[in-house]
Amino acid sequence: MTGSPTESRPSKILKTQGHTDQDKEDKQLQDLSMSKNPRIQRYLVAIEYIGTRFSGSQQQPNCRTVVGVLEEAFHKFIGQPVSIFCSSRTDAGVHALSNVCHVDVERISKRKPGEVLPPHEPSVVRRAVNHFLQKNEGDISVIDVRCVPNDFHARFKAQERTYFYRLVSGSEPLSTFEKERAWHVPEKLDLNAMQEACKVLVGHHDFSSFRAAGCQANSPIRTLDELHVCEVRATPYFPSITEREQNNSSLKDSHTCSVKPDVELPINSFSNTNDMVDTNNGKSNLEEFGIRRRHRSYVVTARARSFLYHQVRLLVGVLKCVGTGELTTSDVERILNAKTVTAASPMAPACGLYLGRVKYDLP
């Protein structure tokens, strides 16, 4: 990468700046949310959901939301209303492989109203809530439950959040199975250029250029611990006849020579079948009638303690433009230094974004 002038490089910011006010605000809100009733059990609940089926995660009037559906399922389970607090707010269309929330439950006997019973085991909570969720649309599930102290807040105790963004590249129309699950980019993407751009954006910066209007954070300064893009297998993935034959051959070889390692197929063997040309008719050997040509599939990973409003989607928007050649690494430095969202590229659509993990130091 060609070095840019010193004045165009992203300015360095002391790491102690930016988090102080946020920490104070988090502590105040956490104190307010702490349950004072010793008979109440607080549960930490991890959930997965298809974001395109909801109008976001937070409760909204006259809208189907993640929190609304989850509160309804808990109400049916325990027979009384509950309030659910999410670790991370996701917009309409944004999916979650694992979002985390907490809920306070006081187990009262349904046969003897007023009688308080011992708390349910986490496994019971998971099975029961999933029972009512699956009777609904089945687009949200509880994947884990744990008992936590009454001062444990799903949002403010989170140490780290990881988001994934899926892009698929290729001129073919997007597969029915991928619709609303990824961002389809018809152009080819330059993976190396995108990876170089990530190096500019990772670290401790003023991310005002990647902060959408309406952001309620006190400071635009964030530490982006990881920003990474890689090529992955296209999904849903099913092995071709060539790959099955290669696998069978490797299994036979392993029987004759036990120390020989398994053969790992190169990425081009499942994403670029159009490179294999038949000399008879000029067409791909695997390009047969009724067989869809696969796209190239990429995943952008963004990891940090917290993110600004629409920060990940704005970052991906810039990386996509670098991949298509519309922007250079120097342009990315210029956008970051501009400290205004008007300098950034158009924001990536919500459908490709997945909240992947929320990390805690659990008691």
pLDDT band for 267, please (50, 70, 90 cuts).
Answer: very low
Backbone phi, psi, residue 231, to 5°: -90, 140
Q: Which residues pair with 276 in a beta bridge?
A: none
Q: Which two tokens stand for residue 44?
A: 């930490």
Backbone phi, psi, residue 201, to 5°: -90, -25
Of the candidates 101, 84, 4, which has an alpha carbon nearest to the alpha carbon of residue 334? 4
Q: Which has more confidence, 31 or 7? A: 31
CB 344 within 8 A of CB 314: yes
Just list the catalytic residues: 91
Q: pLDDT digit string (tens) for 94-104? A: 999 999 999 99
pLDDT band for 136, please (50, 70, 90 cuts).
Answer: confident
**From CA 223, how far away is CA 203, in angstroms rounded?**
5
Distances (CA, A) of 320 to 35, 167, 198, 325, 328: 45, 9, 11, 9, 11
CATH topology of domain 38-147: Alpha-Beta Plaits (3.30.70)
pLDDT score at 108: 84
Of the candidates 313, 91, 353, 307, which has an alpha carbon nearest to the alpha carbon of residue 207? 307
Mean pLDDT of 245-265: 64
CATH number of 159-235+294-360: 3.30.70.660
pLDDT score at 319: 98
Q: Which two tokens stand for residue 58?
A: 């937070």
Close Cβ partners of 311 (under 8 Å, ≥ 6 residues apart): 207, 210, 211, 212, 222, 302
Residue with tokens 């997945």: 354
**Is 159-235+294-360 in the same CATH topology as 38-147?**
yes
pLDDT score at 35: 54
Q: Locate the DSSP E strands across the chain.
A: 41-49, 84-86, 95-105, 140-148, 160-169, 183-185, 203-206, 221-232, 296-304, 353-359
User: What is the DSSP track for 2-54?
Assistant: PPPPGGGSPPP--TTTTHHHHHHHHHHHHHHH----TTPEEEEEEEEE-GGGS
Q: Strands 140-148 and 41-49: what pairing?
A: antiparallel
pLDDT score at 42: 98
Q: What is the mean pLDDT of the chain?
A: 85
Of the candidates 350, 338, 288, 278, which has an alpha carbon nearest to the alpha carbon of residue 314? 350
Q: Which two tokens stand for residue 359?
A: 């990390």
Distances (CA, A) of 219 to 22, 101, 177, 191: 8, 24, 39, 32
Q: Which residues pair with 232 in a beta bridge?
A: 297
CB 103 within 8 A of CB 45: yes
Helix (H) and strand (E) counts for the chain? 8, 10
Per-domain residue ranges of the chain = 38-147, 159-235+294-360
User: Percent of the chain at pLDDT above 70?
Assistant: 80
- pLDDT higher than 60, residue 204: yes
**From CA 302, how far away is CA 282, in angstroms rounded?**
42
Q: pLDDT digit string (tens) for 51-62? A: 999 999 998 889
pLDDT score at 13: 57
**From CA 339, how far away is CA 123, in angstroms rounded?**
47
pLDDT score at 297: 97
